[in-house]
Amino acid sequence: MARAGRRPGPTETREQIIAAARRAFAEQGYDGATVRGIAAEAGVNAALLHHFFGTKQQLFVVAMNFPIDPAEQLPLLLSGPPEQIGERVARLFLALWGDPAGRAPFLAMLRSVASNEQAATMLRQFMVRTVLARLAEARGVPPLRVTAAAAQMIGLVMLRYVVQAPPLVDATDDEIVELIAPVLQNYLTPE
Amino acid sequence: MARAGRRPGPTETREQIIAAARRAFAEQGYDGATVRGIAAEAGVNAALLHHFFGTKQQLFVVAMNFPIDPAEQLPLLLSGPPEQIGERVARLFLALWGDPAGRAPFLAMLRSVASNEQAATMLRQFMVRTVLARLAEARGVPPLRVTAAAAQMIGLVMLRYVVQAPPLVDATDDEIVELIAPVLQNYLTPE
């Protein structure tokens, strides 16, 4: 029965899981999708899926081809001198988008989000749960201020790396950080 | 056959073409829309459309120009108390994106810019020529600062109206303006 070619190999199984995860996140949102449901959809054991991919958050990061896991970045942003968190956030965004390979999945996501509401919902739920809420709580500032800081950086990397606005392309990272970091610092500091 | 009222005049034809172009770009993105399809949608000959508007790219620029005609908006932003230009910029962006009909062409533009370099180039040239350079000159600030202000607002309307981040959706326009206007004011003021 288990002829060669009938039983999927590890790579094939991995691809099936990722495909199932993408469908589930798109159809049910980040909050609605479950590791158990994704495992069932992919025809694998939930424990196996968890063993290979970890939490739902980690599975999402892999499925979306994110170059980084925000769960790993957040402690780095929050460590170090509190009065320099604005600068650390600015440098992280510039580093992530400055690498063309790292930029590709962000661009794909941007297209999806602008094209369909399912993608927007999925990304929104993921961002709120894994980044915005945690950062707001850790810094003791309202989520609105954290979101305003995110808006500044998202707009900036879009204009620098996608639209390629000359003033941002011609400026050095240091010049941009000098201009932007105080704004981020203010947003991320309690009034 | 050619009864009065049956054959549209030149102005009406132009409006029909622009409306059809906006719909096509909004629904299919820049790559998906075709001059032939837009002409068919507008009920005109493709050669006629080409005669009046040129290439698809030129038609796109004309169609995207419409909701944010900078020749009309820039004097309004620059008039009034100089110490409130940050607030006027913030309110203009919120008004433009807050209207779903006005938002459609911006979303089409966003998809195009994220998908292909020609669209990014086109938008960049348009932005620099009609907005950034003039605003920088009028305010006596470096273009880098004007671009940072644009980044703040572009990121903000994206997170509010596309991603629909809850803190920005739940906030009133006044709360957002109160938070953002001082940042814009600072960027648009000589050091």
The two three-digit tokens of residue B101, written as one number: 């009909």
Q: Do A115 and B120 touch (CB under 8 A)?
A: no
Chain A positions in Cβ-Cβ contact with residue B124 (cut-off 8 Å): 163-166
* B40 lies within 8 A of chain A by CB: no
Task: Say if residue B100's pLDDT is above 90.
Answer: no
Cα Rg of chain A (Å, integer): 19
* B44 and B130 co-located in one domain: no
pLDDT tier for residue A109 given thresholds of 50, 70 and 90: confident
pLDDT of A107 reads 83
Lowest-confidence region among A39-53, A75-89, B22-36, B159-173: B22-36
The residue with greater pLDDT, B134 or B94, is: B94
* B86 and B40 co-located in one domain: no
Rounded Cα distance, B72 and B113, in Å? 24
Question: Shortest Cα distance from A54 to chain B (angstroms)?
Answer: 26
Chain A positions in Cβ-Cβ contact with residue B146 (cut-off 8 Å): 167
Q: Of A63, A95, A111, at which residue does a domain stop? A: A63
- The shortest CB-CB distance from B113 to any of A113, A127, A162 is to A162
Lowest-confidence region among A169-178, B109-118, B129-138: B109-118
Please count the structural domains in chain A: 2
* B41 and B76 co-located in one domain: no
Structural domain range at position B160: 69-187
Q: Where are the alpha helices (DSSP H) in A33-116?
A: 35-42, 46-53, 56-63, 70-78, 85-98, 100-115
pLDDT of B87 reads 97
* B94 and B56 co-located in one domain: no
Highest averaged pLDDT of the listed ranges A52-61, A113-122, B65-74, B119-128: A52-61
Q: Which residue of B has its CA nearest to A156?
A: B151
* B171 lies within 8 A of chain A by CB: yes
**A:80-109 residues touching chain B, CB 8 A cutoff:** 107
How deeply is B41 buried, as exposed, middle or buried, from its count of CB atoms within 10 A (0-12, 13-18, 19+)? middle
Chain A positions in Cβ-Cβ contact with residue B159 (cut-off 8 Å): 147, 150-151, 154
pLDDT of B83 reads 95
* B43 lies within 8 A of chain A by CB: no
Name residues whose C-beta falls within 8 Å of residue B34's C-beta, 6 or more positions apart in sequence.
B24, B56
Percentage of chain A surpassing pLDDT 90? 63
Task: Say if residue A113's pLDDT is above 60.
Answer: yes
pLDDT of B1 reads 42
* B166 and B116 co-located in one domain: yes
* A45 and A81 co-located in one domain: no
CATH number at residue A1: 1.10.10.60
Chain B positions in Cβ-Cβ contact with residue A123 (cut-off 8 Å): 163
Assess if residue B4 is contained within a domain. Answer: no
C-beta separation of A156 from A181 below 8 A: no
Q: Of B19, B36, B63, at which residue does a domain stop? A: B63
* A70 and A128 co-located in one domain: yes
Task: Say if residue A3's pLDDT is above 70.
Answer: no
* B131 and B86 co-located in one domain: yes
* B88 and B27 co-located in one domain: no
Mean pLDDT value across chain A = 90
Pick from A14, A120, A166: which is nearest to B132 by CA? A166
CATH number at residue B108: 1.10.357
The two three-digit tokens of residue B49, written as one number: 């459309």
Lowest-confidence region among A13-22, A37-46, B17-26: B17-26
Mean pLDDT value across chain B = 85
pLDDT of B113 reads 81
Lowest-confidence region among A33-47, B13-27, B96-110, B120-134: B120-134
Pick from A81, A86, A97: which is nearest to A169 by CA? A97
* A180 and A91 co-located in one domain: yes
Lowest-confidence region among A22-26, A98-102, B175-179: A98-102
* A11 and A94 co-located in one domain: no
pLDDT tier for residue B58 given thresholds of 50, 70 and 90: confident
Task: Say if residue B179's pLDDT is above 90.
Answer: yes
Interface test with B, best of A107, A121, A159, A185 (most B CBs within 10 A): A159
Task: Say if residue A114's pLDDT is above 60.
Answer: yes
Q: Do A147 and B165 touch (CB under 8 A)?
A: yes
pLDDT of A176 reads 98
Q: Do A159 and B167 touch (CB under 8 A)?
A: no
Assess if residue B2 is contained within a domain. Answer: no
* B179 and B158 co-located in one domain: yes
C-beta separation of B188 from B86 below 8 A: yes
Assess if residue B1 is contained within a domain. Answer: no
Q: Of A44, A63, A82, at which residue does a domain stop? A: A63
Task: Say if residue B171's pLDDT is above 70.
Answer: yes
The dihedral of CA B76, B78, B82, B86: what is its sign? positive
The two three-digit tokens of residue A109, written as one number: 């996501």
Pick from A130, A116, A43: which is nearest to A108 by CA? A116
Rounded Cα distance, A14 and A20, in Å? 10
Chain B positions in Cβ-Cβ contact with residue A126 (cut-off 8 Å): none
ipTM of the complex: 0.87
pLDDT of B128 reads 75
DSSP string computed for B105-149:
HHHHHHHHHHH-HHHHHHHHHHHIIIIIHHHHHHHT--HHHHHHH
Measured from the Cβ of residue A104, the count of other Cβ atoms closer than 10 Å reads 12
